[in-house]
Amino acid sequence: MKAEILTIGDEVLRGEIVDSNKALIASRLLQLDVECHYQASVRDDPADMRDAFERGISRSDLLLVSGGLGPTRDDRTTETLAEALGRPLEFDEGSFEAMRAFFARVGREMNETNRKQALFPSGAEILANPVGTAPGFLLEERGTIVVCMPGVPRELSLMMDEQVLPRVEARLEKGEGVSRVRARMLRTFGIGESSLEGELADIAQDGEAELAFRTSFPDNFLRVVARGASISEADTRIDAVAAKIRARIGDLVYGEGEETLEAVVGGLLGAAGRTVAVAESCTGGTIAQKLTDNPGSSVYFLGGMVAYSNSAKQALLGVSEETLVRHGAVSEPVVSAMASGVRARFGADIGIATTGISGPGGGSETKPVGLVYIGISWGAGIASSRILANSGEVDAGIRVSPGESGGAGGEGGSAAGHFIFPLDRARHRTLTAQVALDWIRRLMTDTELVGPSLMRRGGGSAPAGLPSSGTKTGSS
């Protein structure tokens, strides 16, 4: 099925709003393995709209239209499409009454101009809109399915999920004698796109499956597409390719589909009955926000502290003044003390901490802009045999230390590492937070702690000769 997306509205062409609807629709279509071949936007101009309708119907199997279904004079999608197709407009009493009920529910009086929203081209199937006043509709013209939906993203999203996708899927299932296309997305973190391509260069080269790469900083996504005479045959091919990828790059794959790293971490913590607390300096609360983005995060997230100043690190996390003066706020001893301090303060199983220089200023010769330290501390009983096997300096910048009693079943352990991420301030924070989350994931899966290679200088985690401690700086 060849799909096309058309968004309508002067505000889109003028740049007054970001046209997120195209991405929303296209991503939903991928759930059915329907790829978008064309995307277009036009003004609220009948001539431009008629031209776009004709173009879409002539070249696509599915034309999804967003916008122009409102009650105002510049909302012209329905009447223009009806005119272009030579279909008279018909009034639907049920839709009109649904609008009345909607206005009554929100305590507003309906204007007579809303009446136009109950007009539809002859032969159209009406799509209910329970959260707005603009119903959508679907019709078929010359073998092309045309779907018109409201432009409000919340209304569009709900209509796609509840009304449009089930109808498209039903039509796909009726197809006979055509190959089935299936897709799966693998989410990776810690390796650059070009390096990923190099690692997987010989995979999916037999023509039965395809591998596509997409970067969404700081992650890289792998989309495996396969075709077969049946869905099961296509899925079998995808399973084989996915298994090869996982065997090749291992724990760099952290999830599939829409599963974010923070969701994976939350799932691991929740399933194991473990808790986490965070101490953030340079990331400014980013890690805490990501962890609490997940519904049900109160099960495993106990709390966090943004200890930006040295005094806050002392008062809130128990970092000694001597450690701060001797090593500076951006140092391994300080980040280690922050991680163990926040774990103790909240009584958590795991403590994670960050301190660094996000820039653009505040750096020095020994502690350049982009330098960041990440620390993690964990208590007794958390599996860490593989991690503790690397006690000492590993990965050119990560020091792993066992707890007082040593071993996976003793008093836990800790680790700290330093990296240089030569990025702007926002992306520096984003990448640092992602590494911290990845360390929690690796701890929970008893996987070696590593740093990302995608932003390292010279293939190492820090420039040669960078000391693990140094003079005190004013940045944190």
What pLDDT digit, counting tens, does each position of 13-54 carry?
A: 999 999 999 999 998 998 787 889 999 999 999 999 999 999
Greater confidence (383 vs 290) lies with 290
Residue 452 pLDDT class (50, 70, 90 cuts): confident
Please give the pLDDT value at position 24. 94
In this model, does residue 471 exceed pLDDT 80?
no
Q: Using only C-alpha atoms, what is the Rg of the chain?
A: 28
What pLDDT digit, counting tens, does each position of 55-69 carry?
A: 999 999 999 999 999
- The kind and range of the H/E element at 186 are strand 180-189
CATH of the domain at 381: 3.90.950.20
- Closest by CA to 373, choosing from 316, 323, 302, is 323
In this model, does residue 407 exceed pLDDT 90?
no
**In a shared domain, residues 214 and 157:** no
Residue 175 gets the label, from left (phi > 0), alpha (psi -120 to 50) or beta, of beta
**In a shared domain, residues 221 and 350:** no
Cα distance between residue 458 and residue 453, in whole Å: 10
61: tokens are: 């199997």
Please give the pLDDT value at position 243. 95
**In a shared domain, residues 270 and 388:** yes
**In a shared domain, residues 390 and 288:** yes
In this model, does residue 415 exceed pLDDT 80?
yes
Last residue of a domain, one of 213, 236, 256: 256
In this model, does residue 467 exceed pLDDT 70?
no
Report the 10 Å Cβ neighbour count for 248: 14
Within a domain: 216: yes
Please give the pLDDT value at position 468. 36
3-class DSSP state of 251: helix
Q: Lowest-confidence range among 74-78, 92-96, 339-343, 410-414?
A: 410-414
In this model, does residue 472 exceed pLDDT 90?
no
Within a domain: 188: yes
Please give the pLDDT value at position 396. 54
CATH of the domain at 251: 3.30.70.2860
**In a shared domain, residues 283 and 378:** yes
Please give the pLDDT value at position 227. 84
Greater confidence (469 vs 448) lies with 448
Q: Lowest-confidence range among 224-233, 426-435, 439-448?
A: 224-233
Residue 132 gets the label, from left (phi > 0), alpha (psi -120 to 50) or beta, of beta
**In a shared domain, residues 306 and 439:** yes
- Closest by CA to 395, choosing from 340, 343, 438, is 438
- Closest by CA to 201, choosing from 168, 164, 248, is 248
Within a domain: 450: no
- How many domains is the chain partitioned into structurally? 3
Last residue of a domain, one of 174, 195, 219: 174
**In a shared domain, residues 202 and 170:** no
**In a shared domain, residues 165 and 190:** no
- Please give the mean pLDDT across all residues of the chain: 89
Please give the pLDDT value at position 80. 97
In this model, does residue 459 exceed pLDDT 60?
no
Domain that includes residue 399, residue range:
261-444
**In a shared domain, residues 232 and 129:** no
Within a domain: 454: no
What pLDDT digit, counting tens, does each position of 263-314 carry?
A: 999 999 999 999 999 999 999 999 999 999 999 999 999 999 999 999 999 9
- The kind and range of the H/E element at 442 are helix 425-444
**In a shared domain, residues 161 and 275:** no
**In a shared domain, residues 433 and 329:** yes
In this model, does residue 178 exceed pLDDT 60?
no
**In a shared domain, residues 355 and 231:** no
In this model, does residue 109 exceed pLDDT 90?
no
What pLDDT digit, counting tens, does each position of 72-108 carry?
A: 999 999 999 999 999 999 999 999 999 999 888 888 8
Last residue of a domain, one of 256, 282, 314: 256
Asked if residues 343 and 351 have their Cβ atoms less than 8 Å apart, the reply is: yes
Can you give the pTM of this predicted structure?
A: 0.77
